């Protein structure tokens, strides 16, 4: 998996309810394992907890908490808008 792509309404709701006290990716890594789907703002990026994801940690799109081993699932994924054609 790469970025988490969400529709405009869902993305707006995740942004509205996101924790805004996480200063950087290093601080995000230290947060206790959150509820599935919980969202966090890190600078200008929105991350959402995906408990089943195993994307390699690159610190940009996918962030693994320090409390989890590399082979265990659970990543914070950067959220972006799902852009596509509207049905005609």
Model confidence over 17-53: pLDDT tens digits? 999 999 999 999 999 999 999 999 999 999 999 999 9
Environment class of 48 (CB within 10 Å of its CB; exposed 0-12, middle 13-18, buried 19+): buried
pTM of structure? 0.89
The distance between the two most distant Cα atoms of the chain, rounded to a whole number of Å, is 47
3-state helix, strand, coil in the chain (%, to 5): 20, 30, 50
């Amino acid at each position: 998996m790469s970025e988490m792509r969400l529709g405009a309404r869902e993305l707006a709701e995740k942004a509205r309810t996101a924790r805004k006290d996480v200063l950087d990716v290093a601080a995000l890594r230290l947060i206790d394992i959150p509820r599935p789907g919980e969202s966090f703002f890190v600078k200008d990026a929105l991350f959402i907890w995906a408990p089943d994801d195993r994307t390699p940690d690159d610190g940009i799109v996918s962030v693994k908490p320090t409390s989890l081993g590399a082979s265990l699932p659970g990543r914070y994924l950067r959220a972006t808008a799902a852009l596509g054609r509207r049905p005609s």
